[in-house]
Amino acid sequence: MKSVSARFGLNENHRSVATAKLRGEIVSDDLKLFDSRKGRALAVLIFVMTFVAGHAFGNGVACWVIISEIYPTKVRGRAMSIATTALWVVGYLGNQLFPLMQKHLGSDGTFWCFSAAALLNLSCVLWLVPETKGRTLEDITRFWTTRRPAEM
């Protein structure tokens, strides 16, 4: 009866490497996050996926919620149309400028630039967007139209 390794065509060399791996004696460069090309590619993939997930749970959804809540009923249709157009234009410009930025700033510079823009966006949201939880549209309208808005 053949052994398992013989059935799969593994010679003595393969068996010793496989045994060493099972014992944890060998750590492949592919498993190190930043020490190999595959590791760097894996790191970039993880960072991009983290960005996409953060965008999907954060700003990607929040902007649509904000534009649907923040405008008074009287002008909501027109204001949401303008805001939606602005969102699409900015998204289009971001996608069109990315290759140019990557060419002139390099990959690192491009991602740092987008990171700075995200930080600026977070700062503006924290500073300018009021909390609307539990408020009626009339309260929000009053907040934006009075000269000295009450604390929300």
For residues 152 and 144, is the Cβ–Cβ distance under 8 A?
A: no
What is the structure's pLDDT at 33? 46
At 85, the amino acid letter reads T
Q: Which residues of the chain have pLDDT under 70?
A: 1-37, 147-152
Q: What is the pLDDT of residues 45-85, one digit of tens each?
A: 898 898 888 878 877 788 888 888 778 888 889 999 999 99
What is the structure's pLDDT at 70? 79
70 Cβ contact partners less than 8 Å away, ≥ 6 residues apart: 132, 140, 144
What is the structure's pLDDT at 30? 46
For residues 18 and 10, is the Cβ–Cβ distance under 8 A?
A: yes
Which domains are assigned to the chain? Answer: 1-28 (no CATH), 60-145 (1.20.1250.20)
What is the structure's pLDDT at 147? 63
